[in-house]
Chains A and B, each alone.
Chain A
Amino acid sequence: MMTIIVVVAVILVVIAGSQLLKIAELRALSKGELIYEVSEKEGKQSGLLMLGFFAAFMAFFAWQMWSWYGLKLPVSASAHGVDTDWLTGATYAVITPVFILTNGLLFFFCFKYSYSSTRKATFFSHSNKLEMIWTIAPSLVLTVLILMGLSNWNKIMTPIADEDDRVLIELTGQQFTWTARYAGADKKLGRSHVTLIEGVNATGVDATDDNAKDDKLVKGEFHLPVGMPVQFVFRSLDAIHSAYMPHFRSQMNCVPGITTQFNFVPTKTTEEMRKITNNDEFNYVLLCNKICGAAHYNMQMDIVVESQEDYDKWLAEQKTFVE
């Protein structure tokens, strides 16, 4: 019944709309006007609306900053993340004025130069000087941004060479869970391959490899020592996953068939971050950020950052692979 009423209502609206358009057209004709010609008055109204829109747009922008900017990720919990955030801020300092100024000019010109029958448009077809200015100015700004970005990128992407002074962790993604493997006392990860997956050996660690014997597999949550460089190696068993640890400004794809890597130094313990965010239930989290299947939205693992002592204690409680 409801559906029939809705359908009838829609048909009536369409008919009424058609009739109104026809009437408007005939009325314009009777006044000797053509309905599709924009009158000067209508033009001025549109110009004014353009200016009004810009004001509303900026108000909307300000309102969003006011109400939603605070929802952004808390201060970076990794060493390189501080640089990332700084450079992001610097880029914003460049693009926000550009965004406001160019949009402002656009809508202001629309308002200022809306059609007037008494004025002529200015024939101004080119100016090499102006073209040079707005080719060179962005080039200079971009050169600076590119150089800063690249030095940052190269720093982030360099693997930690010192094997003694790092924590080595392999993260394996599979629909829809994560497994962390710690290198153990020998600081070396054993070989692994999908053909070796069997029962509890969920990521296919090679039991015959000596390096594998003291490896520790962890699910549910994994721990990191504060202040110590962590070298991650990523694997996937099925679809492509992406290991996203937003609080550490860290992300890397997990690709079946190859390993990828990323590293960072955690700088704030979970406890410290709970104080900073004023949230007793705060937890660092690893989440999947590459579409990987129906439950992609719930593929997560908690991360605990703690002091070296607490970390050593926790790691000692974890069972090694052969155990």
Chain B
Amino acid sequence: MSTHHHHAKDFLFTYIFSTDHKMISKQFLVTGFLMGFIGLIMSTLFRLQLGWPGESFEMIELLMGSWQEDGVMAPDKYLSLVTMHGTIMVFFLLTAGLSGTFSNLLIPLQIGARDMASGFLNMLSYWFFFISSVVMLCSLFVEGGAASAGWTIYPPLSALPQAIPGSGAGMTLWLVSMSIFIVSSLLGSLNYIVTILNMRTKGMSMTRLPLTIWAFLLTAILGVLSFPVLLSAALLLVFDRSFGTSFYLSDIYIGGQVLEHSGGSPILFEHLFWFLGHPEVYIVLLPALGITSEIISTMTRKPIFGYRAMIGSMMAIGFLSFIVWGHHMFLTGMNPFLGSVFTFTTLLIAIPSAVKVFNYLTTLWKGNIVFTPATMFSVGLVSTFISGGVTGLILGNSALDINVHDTYFVVGHFHIVMGLSAIFGMFAGVYHWFPKLFGRMMNNKLGNIHFWITICCAYGVFFPMHFLGFAGVPRRYYTNSEFPMFDNMIDINVFISVCAILAMIGQLVFFFNFVYSAFRGPKAPMNPWKGNTLEWTSPVEHFHGNWYGEIPAVYRWPYDYSKVNANGEYVYGEDFIPQTTPLGDDEKDGGEH
């Protein structure tokens, strides 16, 4: 009896309330993917409506239950789905799921630390995230339905239940959930920063950090500086909604009544929201870029080209991301001069982004590329980062934005450059570090199939949206059938919807591979990809502390791949030199110049 009790306690603290960063990483991963899957199903549901407006679908009837008993989606439920899809994908999958998983897994393992600075705060960070996920999902089931003012929840629409049913209890839960989420994010980010700055092993100078760690550090800094602003925006909105204040509301006549609110401005909310909202793009993107930098270097068996330029460009992107938020608001009536300033700063971001792309290309050039699924998704990321990035030059230019603002052109742009890039980075990371996460290997063939289905269908979904944008089709329309000028668009919409459904089915291949491999995949060796970084010196089995005995010391940067001596032979006989190998007499450290 007592041993049984002991086991139960063990189970509780090993798998549930664990303070071990590796377990917390897995918790973030699984929760993030579950949320992501829900977000994916939501997108399939509203793609059914957009491809075949007003038709009855069994899938809608089955999944939306008593709300849509006839299987035909209602306009306000459509907006709920769009809103929840955006919220879940941006925050729960690509912020917490991506950053939470890989920052937690890789920071201690790659810098050579036994755990995070505070394991307890780390555990709290996960559990706040878990609670916020649960609250967000609960909001689907309250009266009036989930929040439906778009993921940007602009007031007055989000502030007034009489404006849309989703702005009732659903919106309240959205705000509660996001507030808890922000607490989770802040606890996590502070922990990441402190750990990286203070707990690096002997010899691990900042210029010997893998680019993943640089990316996680900058991401955490962005999060700490910007998420509190969203929290304040959300709290003021709670005040306006529930306590009669007028931070965002003024001169409103709705439902036959003039409201008491006076003197506020919804534009204030937009400023506060996008002060987080734009850095958020890079909170989502930087970890993915860090992950792929690491994978591309390892799998091309070449040093990442321009290590310092990569760090510099990430810093430049991070800094600039704080002074470009106004490009989401060119058309709010802001002073045209301010619009000019935001155009200027926005287009500047293209420079460090271009530097990153060219550095990736040069890294691949004359490499010896090993095509694992992780490599393929990394290549996919570079492709989507280019394809989605270039259209930013249209949207970031205020004069051109006027005509494509809030059209499907925007939807295509940000899904490719942010959504696809980040999720490709996340998939790449999962395939690459699966052996570290679960001690087993994923199946390559299924991984390849997953990649090809995903990239083909993803471009199939988002590329045609640019053409809808050229035609002036607005986003967030329940149907385009009310406008004769959009009658010809139905072919594009059907094409997109078919691709979206195929893409969703393709993800089932991944989920099967993931679950199967976690339990029954072949056992992983310690360093399956012949990587240089410290995590590959840590034993496959998980235990609190990461290394038996001393933490290894570091003597060189992480990218000494295919380093040859004057005779053209590998310096140490292999095409990789782990960071734990001391520098030879005539060797220079790669990160120093």
Contact = CB atoms under 8 A, between A and B. Distances in A.
Contact of B444 (A38, A239, A242): A38
A257 B474 contact: no
Contacts of A127: 305-306
Interface string B559-576: 101111000101000010
A317 interface: no
Interface string A230-260: 0000100111101010110111110111111
Contacts of B402: 84, 156, 249-251
Contacts of B304: 125
Given A22-B520, A291-B150, A91 B400 contact: yes
Given A121-B562, A134-B355, A238-B254, A146 B266 contact: no
B197 to A, nearest CB: 25
Nearest to B471: A71
A250 B400 CA distance: 10
Contacts of A135: 351, 354-355
A122 interface: yes
B368 A120 contact: yes
A98 interface: yes
- Greatest chain A CB density within 10 A among B360, B379, B488 is at B379
B47 interface: no
B332 A125 contact: no
A238 B163 contact: yes
A289 B483 CA distance: 13
- Greatest chain A CB density within 10 A among B76, B253, B357, B491 is at B253
A296 B82 CA distance: 13
Given A60-B463, A121-B302, A134-B358, A293 B390 contact: no
Contact of B467 (A68, A95, A246): A68
Interface stretch (A108-116, A163-171, A180-188, A308-316): A108-116
- Greatest chain B CB density within 10 A among A36, A145, A259, A292 is at A36
Interface in A241-283: 242, 244, 246-247, 249-253, 255-261, 281-283
A5 to B, nearest CB: 14
A106 B400 contact: no
Contacts of B483: 285, 287, 300
A91 B397 contact: yes
Interface in B487-543: 488-489, 491-492, 512, 516, 520, 522, 528
Interface string A24-63: 1100000000111010001100110110010011001100
Given A98-B390, A109-B361, A71 B488 contact: yes
Contacts of B470: 69, 71-73
Contacts of B367: 109, 113, 121-122
A256 B252 contact: yes
B130 interface: no
B393 A95 contact: yes
A214 B479 CA distance: 39
Given A87-B400, A146-B347, A110 B562 contact: no
A298 interface: yes
Contact of B250 (A47, A204, A246, A256): A256
Contacts of A195: 258
Chain B, interface size category, equals 35 or more
B331 A252 contact: yes
Contacts of A42: 371, 444
B83 to A, nearest CB: 9
Interface string A124-166: 1111001100110011001001100110111011100000000
B61 interface: no
B68 interface: no
A261 B306 CA distance: 47
A193 B563 CA distance: 74
Contacts of B333: 234, 252-253, 255, 258-261
A81 B402 CA distance: 10
Contacts of B176: none
Contacts of A175: 163, 254
Given A87-B399, A197-B253, A73 B471 contact: yes
B583 interface: no
A22 B244 CA distance: 63
A197 B255 CA distance: 12
B400 A149 contact: yes
A105 interface: yes
A123 B303 contact: yes
B336 interface: yes
Contacts of A247: 472
A121 B343 contact: no
A46 to B, nearest CB: 4
Interface in B381-408: 382-383, 386-387, 390-391, 393-394, 397-400, 402-403, 405-407
A94 interface: yes
Chain A, interface size category, equals 35 or more
A185 to B, nearest CB: 28
B465 to A, nearest CB: 11
Given A253-B332, A297-B477, A134 B354 contact: yes
B510 to A, nearest CB: 13
Interface string B299-317: 0111111111100000000
B392 to A, nearest CB: 9
Contacts of B348: 142
A121 B368 contact: yes
A156 B399 contact: yes
Contacts of B340: 150, 153-154
B9 interface: no
Given A135-B355, A146-B397, A237 B368 contact: no
B204 interface: no
Given A46-B448, A72-B467, A285-B485, A115 B371 contact: yes
A122 B575 CA distance: 11
Given A71-B489, A121-B368, A124-B362, A294 B75 contact: yes
A149 to B, nearest CB: 4
A318 interface: no
Contacts of A252: 331, 333
Interface string B135-178: 00000000000000110001011001001110000000000000
Given A64-B463, A124-B362, A110 B351 contact: no
- Greatest chain B CB density within 10 A among A47, A88, A285 is at A88
A37 to B, nearest CB: 8
A49 B386 CA distance: 20
Given A121-B368, A240-B154, A297-B477, A256 B266 contact: yes
A287 B474 contact: yes
Interface stretch (A13-21, A205-213, A220-228): A13-21
B48 to A, nearest CB: 16
Contacts of A246: 403, 472
Given A106-B383, A149-B343, A131 B252 contact: no
B331 A242 contact: yes
B476 interface: yes
A216 B528 CA distance: 76
Contacts of A50: 376, 379
Contacts of A300: 482-483
**4 closest cross-chain pairs (CB), A and B:** A260-B333, A257-B250, A246-B472, A46-B371
